[in-house]
Amino acid sequence: MPGLVSAVLVALLAACTSADDEGRPGFPRTPRTPVAGAPYPYASPDEVGLSEDRIWWFKERLYSRVVARHVVGAEILVVKDGRIVLHQAMGWADRERLIPLERNAIFRIASMTKPFAGTALLMLVEEGRIGLDDRVAEHLPSFDNSRSGRITVRQLLTHRSGFVQAGVDGFRDQPTLREAVDLTGEIGPDFPPGDRFIYSNLNSATLGALVEELSGEPVELFIEARILKPLNLDDTHTGFSPDLPWAMRVPSSYQRWGGSRWERFWSNTTTNPERWFSPSGDLFSTAFDYARFLASWMNSEVQEGDRLLTGATVEEALADPMAGDTAVARRRYYGFQWEIYAPPTRSGKLPVFGHRGAIGTVGLAFPEEDVLVLFLTQSKENEVVDEVIEMALEVFRE
């Protein structure tokens, strides 16, 4: 670790001496003092058995990425044993308007929405209203054809349906989610179902349509009533409008091309053009709320009111879906709408799991260590998210 810290200090000094945009102030960051109304108490790292030096290294390395303009702004939250040991915001919520990013901002979490769709569907599985190995065509008639007829619910959950990420022409132009999914089923997948893993938003969309068919209500209302309300996720939202009271807490979104400077492509004054809620990526949420959602999965033995699914369902959802097809245990794979980053070190324990989003966000849960890590930005498809995952595994994995 000392060698790593020295290397990071050199990188920090180099980044901090690089020229900023002309006329623009420096790189703000919030204090680490407790935030009023936080869902967890605060503690120092040593109070929960963590190294203060390692937490410092983790925090400063990420701040160096802000200084080097690898992200526009970022919020970091680390919870250990149910206590917050690191919580800081860095950089800008809006660079053009010179608005610093504050803690407890509401981010566009993009594909971090997918586990909510998976959770909703698994609730219906536990209620006996649908089976993991049911053919989708048994519930959605548009899939009852030679192209889509063999697709199962399990294949949707694990992205093995054969659909590709590009989707189908006219998908987002449909007036409702159900009609968009019906179009998908009628056209069919690009590859044979079960043939290979292909990450696709169409899988999560179809899960949402199944939830609607079985529950008789829009999937976003199901998520609100069955997930958000029970967990008290009051800052997680299924829709956006600039006139909502929380709209100003949402940072602007940025993208860049070929290493050029960040360009704003969305702000909280923008009207949402989407016709319907997408279960693959339309949620807005905070670090606090997503931490509680992760905890509801991580702590499957907690009291009934604080969990959404049984321990057996959680274990199956986080297990390697291809475990019986290979003699070599895989370190990384995709479970039931969750990314798996590292296997458990002991039998009967849960792996490290979480999900990332295309706007530069990631949430990770370390069940064996009882650690939650949230890194939320508004900087689209940046490489820092992969770095956060690797650093978190190095710092928090026992």
Q: For 121-150, write each residue's pLDDT tens digit.
A: 999 999 999 999 999 999 999 999 999 999
What pLDDT score was predicted for residue 327? 52
Contact (Cβ atoms closer than 8 angstroms) between residue 355 and residue 111:
yes
Contact (Cβ atoms closer than 8 angstroms) between residue 242 and residue 252:
no
What pLDDT score was predicted for residue 12? 46
* pLDDT tens, position by position, 16-46: 433 334 344 578 999 989 999 999 999 999 9
Contact (Cβ atoms closer than 8 angstroms) between residue 85 and residue 48:
yes
- Of 281, 297, 302, the closest CA to residue 372 belongs to 297
pLDDT beyond 90 at 284: yes
What pLDDT score was predicted for residue 277? 97
What pLDDT score was predicted for residue 328? 63
The pLDDT-based confidence of 66 (bands split at 50, 70, 90) is very high
What pLDDT score was predicted for residue 175? 96
The pLDDT-based confidence of 167 (bands split at 50, 70, 90) is confident
Most confident of 115-129, 262-276, 317-331: 115-129
Separate counts of helices (H) and strands (E) for the chain: 10, 12
Q: What number of other Cβ atoms are within 10 A of residue 273's Cβ?
A: 6
Contact (Cβ atoms closer than 8 angstroms) between residue 306 and residue 299:
yes
- Of 109, 110, 114, the closest CA to residue 211 belongs to 114
What pLDDT score was predicted for residue 2? 42
- Of 119, 118, 106, the closest CA to residue 287 belongs to 106
What pLDDT score was predicted for residue 5? 45
CB-neighbour burial class of residue 49 (10 A; exposed 0-12, middle 13-18, buried 19+)? exposed
We find that the CATH architecture of domain 103-398 is: 3-Layer(aba) Sandwich (3.40)
pLDDT beyond 50 at 1: no
State how far Cα 263 lies from the chain centre: 23
CB-neighbour burial class of residue 275 (10 A; exposed 0-12, middle 13-18, buried 19+)? middle
Q: Tell me what the mean pLDDT of segment 267-289 comes to.
A: 93
The pLDDT-based confidence of 88 (bands split at 50, 70, 90) is very high
Q: Tell me what the mean pLDDT of segment 264-289 comes to.
A: 93
* pLDDT tens, position by position, 183-218: 999 999 999 999 999 999 999 999 999 999 999 999
Domain residue spans of the chain: 103-398
Q: For 310-313, which contacts have Cβ atoms below 8 Å and span 24 or more sequence positions? A: 310/126, 313/122, 313/125, 313/126
The pLDDT-based confidence of 366 (bands split at 50, 70, 90) is very high
The pLDDT-based confidence of 382 (bands split at 50, 70, 90) is confident
Average pLDDT over the chain reads: 91
pLDDT beyond 60 at 278: yes
Instruction: Report which of residues 325 and 79 the model is more confident about.
Output: 79
The pLDDT-based confidence of 15 (bands split at 50, 70, 90) is very low
Distance CA 161, CA 206 (A): 10
What pLDDT score was predicted for residue 166? 79
Distance CA 249, CA 380 (A): 18
pLDDT beyond 50 at 348: yes
In eight-state DSSP terms, residue 172 is T
Total-model pTM: 0.92
